[in-house]
Amino acid sequence: MPKEYFKKLQDLLDTERNEDLQSYLKLTENTSAADRRALGLTWYPIAIRNTEIGRGDYLTVELERTTHQDFSHQFRFGSAVVLFSNHDAKEDRIEGIINHQSGSRMKISFRVDELPDWTRDGKLGVDLLFDNNSYDEMQSALKQATHLAENESENKLIRILTKGEKPSFQGEEKFIIPNTLNDSQQLAVNKIIAADHLAVVHGPPGTGKTTTLVHAIKSLVKHNDQKILVVAPSNTAVDLLTEKLAAEGLKVIRVGNPARVSERLLAATLDHQMAEHPEMKTIKALKKQASEYKNMAHKYKRSFGKAERDQRKALFDEAHKIGKEVEKTEQYIMDNLFTKAQIITATLVGANHYTVRNLKYNTIVIDEAGQALEPACWIPILKAQKVILAGDHFQLSPTIKSNEAARNGLSNTLLEKAVNLHPESVVLLKEQYRMNKDIMGYSSQVFYKSELIAHHSVADHLLFTGDQPIQFIDTAGCSFDEKLDGTSTTNPDEAAFLVKHLTHLVNNLTDQSLTDNFPSVAIVSPYKQQVQILNALVQENEILNPYRNKIAVNTIDSFQGQERDVVYISLTRSNGDGSIGFLSDTRRMNVAMTRARKKLVIIGDSATLSKSNFYAEFIQYAEQLGAYHSAWEFMEL
């Protein structure tokens, strides 16, 4: 029953929230601002650059980090934060919400009339607070879904997704689709248009899922003249779709602020479109007036007598009244913009942002649905009659902190459930435009029933004539033993061997005068500490030095959705008992193997790996292609 279905999801989400909160507290309790800064949870020191009247009762403060600007951080639009003074961080603190973040600046809304006096004393910083908002939004959507499921007139979409009721499709009317799409892409667009409630686009790596979605959305707008909500779990995926939809001339509004900065993207943001609206002049004049009242109020400090306090209060009341007027005018502008928009884009949680909370849609599209937590998907789903899920459940699943919640079903995504429950709604995109056919082959065999085909433009492409597109280099018998470094596994000998092999490849390219157009290279491993060792070796290698900006070293997870000409994978594990830990997540390996366009080099110990069928069969695959090598062949390089 749907009621029990949502109750179980709520319980799993509570378990996940508790685990997430515990790990946040462990990270932040009793740590210095410098430690938190290194973890990406703090900006310190910062300077206040500007304050202005915000929405309603809010004061908007713009601030900038003045040092350590190259440090990566986790601050995002919509995050809850606290402004603190390092003189007395326990007492001197005030909470707010980020309403804009880009580069080393952010704007925060605080529910106060004026900033406290301690903010004038310098030594200020901003801490990221635990993300209660996302959990609250997810729980609230699940409660609403439970309520809808209890009613007799229960939402058909809920029944389809939770009880397996069959979805229906319109007649076989064929729509005019540009012939730039291949057969399976055209099939997917038709399925999306014909679906009354549910369609699923299963897009393996390099198969043009984004292109297909853009054409489908364009067709939906054209045929039904309806408003569509396009969402994804990450800002990067939302930005990509926003940009492509805007390039097609569609009227798009991006809610929230983009992670990337491009003119087309910025023009699509709600902020930008509001700023361009003719009514904005009125708002500016009102804000100026409110600011003047507040400035006059500041002259009456709290220590004055009753008359001054009354005067101060009256001035603030006037400013509040104007604030309400500003809010009303802003709402009018937003309603006006949203009425004209054809497409709204946002993250899953951003779909419930106050600016769009009450909007309803005919269709919603969830991209990267294989990486989305199911409770987050229900936030947008409850706003529509029809949902399009797009993604690949054989690539990385969502990050889940609680092993217990993952084990009990939170790691099972809505995409996976829909694919298993409703095969009639699914179209697999079969033609890929990224990889040489040998690089694609094993992945296609294991994950996609050997249905993938490589487009002729990429099927045989190589780094240079006579090169091998795929190599498995076996370190068995080399005594490259893994080591435990803290909680992460490393293999320094394997790392040194990998960099030596890459150096040999670079020398080869130099000999053939191919370095002018040097290929892009990714070096990946599932283990963070191994990545650090590899990074250090690449940094200090003189032969690789001139090409450093073309060589990226990182974990597999950080490369999902990306591609490179050459990919090296350091499998790292090498032990006597065949223990492979992280490597047993074959979806992670699917992501790693399918990043490569022209050359894939996998380095590992067959004695350890072949206890797993996945790796034993991969080694066999490499042997059949003549791509298996022993590391001893390269020792003299």
Residues 525-565 pLDDT 10s: 999 999 999 999 999 999 999 999 999 999 998 888 899 99
Q: Are strands 228-232 and 343-347 parallel, antiparallel or unpaired?
A: parallel
Would 367 be classed as within a structural domain? Answer: yes
481 and 606 assigned to the same domain: yes
Cα angle vertex 607, ends 606, 611, to 5°?
A: 90
Between CA 624 and CA 609 the distance in angstroms is 18
Would 161 be classed as within a structural domain? Answer: yes
Would 290 be classed as within a structural domain? Answer: yes
Residue where a domain terminates, one of 310, 339, 368: 339
Q: Which carries the bigger pLDDT value, residue 429 or residue 581?
A: 429
Between CA 436 and CA 454 the distance in angstroms is 7
Contact present, 521 and 550 (Cβ < 8 Å): yes
Q: Return the CATH number at 58.
A: 2.40.30.270
Residues 194-231 pLDDT 10s: 999 999 999 999 999 999 999 999 999 987 767 999 99
157 and 98 assigned to the same domain: no
Contact present, 66 and 105 (Cβ < 8 Å): no
Give the pLDDT confidence score for residue 505 in this predicted structure. 95
45 and 193 assigned to the same domain: no
Domain that holds residue 125: 31-130
Q: Are strands 124-128 and 80-85 parallel, antiparallel or unpaired?
A: antiparallel
> For residue 576, what are the CA distances in angstroms to 478, 480, 589, 608, 616?
13, 12, 22, 7, 16
Residue where a domain terminates, one of 404, 429, 454: 429
Which of the listed ranges 324-328, 330-334, 632-636 does the model predict with the highest average pLDDT?
Answer: 330-334
Q: Return the CATH number at 351.
A: 3.40.50.300
Residues 14-49 pLDDT 10s: 999 999 999 999 888 888 888 999 999 999 999 999
pLDDT over 60 at 163, yes or no: yes
Q: Average pLDDT of 55-75?
A: 88
Give the pLDDT confidence score for residue 320 in this predicted structure. 83
Rounded to two decimals, the pTM is 0.92
Token look-up 């003045």 returns 66
486 and 530 assigned to the same domain: yes
> 132-150 vs 156-163: helix axis angle to the nearest 10?
100
Q: Where is 598: in which H helix or E strand?
A: strand 596-604
Between CA 410 and CA 9 the distance in angstroms is 7
Q: How far is CA 8 from its chain centroid?
A: 26
465 and 563 assigned to the same domain: yes
Per the structure, the count of domains in the chain is 4
Token look-up 């068995």 returns 476
Residues 356-400 pLDDT 10s: 999 999 999 999 999 999 999 999 999 999 999 999 999 999 999
Q: Which carries the bigger pLDDT value, residue 559 or residue 590?
A: 590
627 and 525 assigned to the same domain: yes
Would 493 be classed as within a structural domain? Answer: yes
Sign of CA dihedral 442, 448, 452, 458: negative
Would 456 be classed as within a structural domain? Answer: yes
Confidence of residue 232 (pLDDT cuts 50, 70, 90): very high
166 and 236 assigned to the same domain: yes
Cα atoms in the 13 Å half-sphere on the side-chain side of 105: 9
- Averaged pLDDT score across all residues of the chain: 91
Give the pLDDT confidence score for residue 257 in this predicted structure. 83
Would 256 be classed as within a structural domain? Answer: no
Give the pLDDT confidence score for residue 70 in this predicted structure. 87
502 and 384 assigned to the same domain: no
368 and 471 assigned to the same domain: no
Residue where a domain terminates, one of 130, 152, 179: 130
pLDDT over 80 at 575, yes or no: yes
Percent of the chain with pLDDT over 90: 70
Q: Average pLDDT of 272-301?
A: 84
Between CA 489 and CA 96 the distance in angstroms is 40
334 and 349 assigned to the same domain: no
Would 312 be classed as within a structural domain? Answer: yes
Q: Average pLDDT of 292-303?
A: 72
Give the pLDDT confidence score for residue 590 in this predicted structure. 96
205 and 346 assigned to the same domain: yes
The 3-state secondary structure of 313-339, one letter per residue:
HHHHHHHHHHHHHHHHHHHHHHHHHHH
Outline where DSSP puts E strands in 468-557: 470-474, 483-485, 488-490, 521-525, 551-555
Q: Average pLDDT of 450-473?
A: 96
205 and 353 assigned to the same domain: yes
Burial of 357 (0-12, 13-18, 19+ CB in 10 A): exposed
Would 57 be classed as within a structural domain? Answer: yes
